[in-house]
Structure formats: C-alpha cells, structure tokens
Amino acid sequence: MRLVRYGEVGAEKPGLIDDENHLRDLSGEIPDIAGDVLSRQGLDRLRALDVRSLPKIDPNQRLGAPVAGTRNFLAVGRNYREHAAETGSDVPEEPLLFNKAVSSMAGPRDDIPYPPGASEVDWEVELAVVIGERCYNVDEDKVLDFVAGYCLCNDVSERQWQKNRGGQWIKGKSAPGFGPLGPWLVTRDAISDPANLDLWLSVNGERRQEGTTADMIFTVPQILSYASRFFALEPGDVVTTGTPSGVAAGMKPPQWLKAGDIVTLGSPHLGEQRQTILG
C-alpha cells in the first residue's frame, strides 16, 4: 500500500494511492496514519478494505508528511562510504546516530524557508524507515517485523550550524522544512528488499546524487537493532538512514542551495519530491 496524508498544514487527513494512482480518502476508516494504525494488525485491516469503495479525492491536494504522531526523528550520519570520503570524514565503526527536530518534518512538495543567518544549506536524499510497533532491544533478524514501511526523506542540512556550533548536529538539521518526507509511506510488504533501492536528487534540473541503498555501510536491520539497544523506537517514529555521495559539501567549491533553487529527488519505489528554496 501507498499511504498518504493530504490537506492543509495541521489539518491533514489519512488517505491512500490506489493501483490506478487515484487518491482515496481513509478518514472514514481511521483517524490518521499514526499509532496502532501502523502496527501489523492495523495495516492488515487497511489491506482488507474495498479500496474502490473509498471516496476519490482531488489529486491536486497538498500532501503532508505521510506519518503522524512522530516522537523521535532519528538520522544516521556517514552511512555511505563515498559520502564519508567526499566530506573528508572517517567511516564510522558503529552507526552514527543523531536527531532531527520533529518540527522539521514537512510535506514532499512544501517550500523550504531559508533560515535567517544560514549560509551553507545542503541537500541529502535518503531512505527513511517508519516504525510500526514499539521496538526495544530487538535482534537484527526480527527487527523488520517492527517496521510499518518506508518513504523518501530530504535530510536538509545547514553545514555551518552542523559542524561549527558546539558539536550538536541537531542544530544544523532541524530548521522548519528541513525534513520533507513522502510523498507516500510504502508499506513494508511492498518493498521486498530495502537494501536494493535506487535514489537520486537534482538541483535546478542538474543531477547531483545517484546511488543505491546497497552501498550502505550499515543496513536497515543493523541500524534499527543497534538503535533499539539504547532506547525504544515507538510507532510513528522515523529513522532516516544516510545519503549517497553528491552533496554540496563534497563539491569543490561547494555549491550551497540559495533562494529560488528547486530540488527534486526520488526513487522508483518511493515516488518523488520537489521543493523550492524560499529566500
């Protein structure tokens, strides 16, 4: 299934994209794409619905982030070897975990405001994982059972704030609009192998990133199991898993995003995003 949340900011309703690419309303069936809806049982109930009986919705509706109720927006740094190399960083021996503020979450086509005082805004196309059930101290061979599905993330970053403002990456990763998710939450049953997904990103039509999750240093099961040793992941939590090479920080000279730039990114299985940088 491809689950979505549509409508104005703060008033999104749950929906899905059917096999004919029609937007269908789920608000008569569930309150939101959140909580128990994301569990194995909750998703099974959605699969059992007669999709054709659900109301069709105007396809021009704004799409929000495809998950609600997120308490923890977790990210993984330097999880592709070529990306570590392009930024002059060592390859980590363990997953390098950090947080993005939940308030950075945005829809897949929402504009990204350029933060006051920023100077080095960068892009990062990533595979994000959405947790479906409480996950604590779970082994790698079982941890995918706790996953609701997958979506795209643009892990937008302000590099000066990330690297030179006291060592806390969250500062450079969390401005409003710095976490676009979607367009869809693709349920786990529809992605046979999260280690074999192509990712791409372009700026103003020029391709900057092309990669595959097969090049990850730490796989999705390794990341989730590792994180679950330290804290519980809860339904609706988002874990974005690192970016391939091709970011602005790795260019010589760097080509930071500026007002008016258009960023597009996508994956054949996860859809596409498009954002305009606002001055």
Q: How far apart are CA 235 and CA 135, in angstroms?
A: 8
Tell me how many degrees the CA angle 196-43-137 measures, rounded to the nearest 5.
65
In one letter, which amino acid is 114?
Y
**What is the pLDDT averaged over residues 26-38?**
98
Would you say 16 and 2 are in contact if contact means Cβ atoms under 8 Å apart?
yes
Q: How far apart are CA 154 and CA 127, in angstroms?
A: 9
- Give me the pLDDT at residue 88, please: 82
Domains and CATH numbers, the chain: 67-278 (3.90.850.10)
**What is the pLDDT averaged over residues 26-51?**
98
**What is the pLDDT averaged over residues 123-144?**
98
pLDDT in tens, 135-147: 999 999 999 999 9
**What is the pLDDT averaged over residues 61-67?**
98
Computed over every residue of the chain, the mean pLDDT equals 97
**What is the pLDDT averaged over residues 8-18?**
98
In one letter, which amino acid is 219?
T
Q: Which of 273, 119, 269, 99 is nearest to 194 (CA)?
A: 269
276 HSE (CA, 13 A, CB side): 4
Q: Which of 180, 203, 74, 62 is nearest to 129 (CA)?
A: 74
Neighbouring-strand partners of residue 44? none
Tell me how many degrees the CA angle 73-142-272 measures, rounded to the nearest 5.
45
- Give me the pLDDT at residue 87, please: 84
pLDDT at 12 over 90: yes
CB atoms within 10 A of CB 264: 18
Share of the chain above pLDDT 90, in %: 95
Pairing of the two strands 262-267 and 271-278: antiparallel
Share of the chain above pLDDT 70, in %: 100
pLDDT in tens, 173-203: 999 999 999 999 999 999 999 999 999 999 9
- Give me the pLDDT at residue 167, please: 79
The contacts of residue 136 (CB under 8 Å, 6+ apart) are 228, 231, 232, 233
Q: How far apart are CA 276 and CA 263, in angstroms?
A: 6
Give residue 84's pLDDT band: very low, low, confident or very high (50, 70, 90).
confident
**Residue 216 DSSP one-character state:** B
**CA distances (Å), 270 to each of 4, 129, 265, in order?**
12, 12, 10
